[in-house]
A and B are shown apart, each in its own frame.
Chain A
Amino acid sequence: MPRPDPRGRTGAPALLILLLVLAAAVPSEAANTVSVDVGSVYASNEGTSIDPALGTIRGKLHSMFNYTSYRMLDRKRRSLSVGEEGEFELPDRRTMRATPLPAQGDKVRLLIKISDGPRKLLTTTLGLRRGGMVLVGGPSHKAGVLILIISAE
């Protein structure tokens, strides 16, 4: 029987223990946290490529808009507690701030603020179910527009 490699695979068990300890230290607050996911999509008439990362909503984008090309520029996800404001950097130095608000059951309420420097482009309060999605679009980007895909879990 071969001698065990002294460099061995001690890393894996050690990591597992570390993760378990860290996980146990984090209180379970799933009900009071909302995972906010923001995808930034560049929609234009330059070319005809549809980013496969857009998944099942590719066809829906085609149905809703006249653009021929959709490319996901960025996507960010943050877990936020109720009342905690999370900041998401958007293309062209715009910013989105999302704050989960108190809600009942499996519903999520989000206060969304989108700004372009000092200019407040949008302030809105949305009510949606976990797993729900809404699009916010229109700000110009290069030869087209930005469409934000906002979803919450």
Chain B
Amino acid sequence: MDCRAALEKIDRKADGLLPREAEAELSGHLAGCPACAAEDAAISATGDALRALTGTRAREKAPALDAMWTRVRAGIGESREALRRPSWVARWAWVPAAVALAVLALLFYPAGTDRSPFHPSTFDVAVEDVESEVATVALVDKGEELPRVIWIIEDAKT
């Protein structure tokens, strides 16, 4: 086996796809070729490093992952509520209801509730001034990728 053939087989070996005979042949080549042996070791190390990286991240988040069903169940409940709407409302009452809402929206600008997810485009905020008559206020920055926070501390309760 030459080095070119060996390099082609190293990937497949990493994925456990080499037949036994081919693997034995490759091992023989690697034993006598430091360059190919180094390539084989590097490919293995890459997989090991990637698994270690994700493993570390998983350990950090283990408590949150343990509680994943609570989050999923809450999300299912939220979606279920949104879907639970009597069909007769959509079917029969939309015309007068839509007209009334259009008039109100355009004439009175009422506050409307909305459950569409937040998708901010920037957290770049300048706080020109800040004061409180009854509390201590703290400004917190934790980096450009996180929102700026104005924290109100009332009588050290929070």
CB within 8 Å of B: which residues of A? Answer: 11-12, 14-15, 18-19, 22-23, 25-26, 37, 39, 47-57, 60, 62-64, 68, 72, 74-79, 86, 88-89, 109, 114, 119-129, 131-140, 145, 149, 151
Q: Report whether B122 and A63 are in contact in the complex, using a CB–CB cutoff of 8 Å.
A: no
Q: Report whether B153 and A138 are in contact in the complex, using a CB–CB cutoff of 8 Å.
A: yes
Q: Report whether B125 and A128 are in contact in the complex, using a CB–CB cutoff of 8 Å.
A: yes
Q: Report whether B132 and A138 are in contact in the complex, using a CB–CB cutoff of 8 Å.
A: no
- A121 to B158 CA separation, bound complex (whole angstroms): 14
Q: Report whether B102 and A18 are in contact in the complex, using a CB–CB cutoff of 8 Å.
A: yes
Complex interface: chain B residues within 8 A of A129 (CB): 121-122, 124
- A138 to B151 CA separation, bound complex (whole angstroms): 5
Q: Give the size range of B's interface with the partner.
A: 35 or more
Excluding A49-B71, A77-B114, A125-B129, 19 further A-B contacts by CB distance (< 8 Å) are: A18-B99, A18-B102, A39-B118, A47-B70, A56-B118, A64-B140, A74-B113, A86-B111, A121-B152, A121-B154, A122-B130, A125-B127, A126-B125, A127-B127, A132-B121, A133-B118, A135-B149, A136-B149, A138-B151
CB within 8 Å of A: which residues of B? Answer: 64, 67, 70-71, 73-75, 78-79, 94-95, 98-99, 102-103, 106, 109, 111-135, 137, 140, 142, 145-154, 157-158
- A48 to B61 CA separation, bound complex (whole angstroms): 13
Q: Report whether A11 and B126 are in contact in the complex, using a CB–CB cutoff of 8 Å.
A: no
Q: Report whether B115 and A53 are in contact in the complex, using a CB–CB cutoff of 8 Å.
A: yes
| Closest B residue, CB atoms, query A65 | B149
Contact count A vs B, C-beta below 8 Å: 186
Q: Report whether B127 and A124 are in contact in the complex, using a CB–CB cutoff of 8 Å.
A: yes
Please judge, given known A-B contacts A121-B134, A137-B149, whether A132 and B122 are in contact too, CB under 8 Å: yes
Q: Report whether A125 and B128 are in contact in the complex, using a CB–CB cutoff of 8 Å.
A: yes
Instruction: Looking at the assembled complex, report how far the CB atom of A97 sits from the nearest CB atom of chain B, in whole angstroms.
Output: 12
Complex interface: chain A residues within 8 A of B147 (CB): 57, 60, 64, 133-135, 149
Please judge, given known A-B contacts A123-B130, A133-B123, whether A64 and B149 are in contact too, CB under 8 Å: yes
Instruction: Looking at the assembled complex, report how far the CB atom of A22 sits from the nearest CB atom of chain B, in whole angstroms.
Output: 5
Complex interface: chain B residues within 8 A of A132 (CB): 120-125
Q: Report whether A120 and B95 are in contact in the complex, using a CB–CB cutoff of 8 Å.
A: no
Instruction: Looking at the assembled complex, report how far the CB atom of B61 sits from the nearest CB atom of chain A, in whole angstroms.
Output: 9
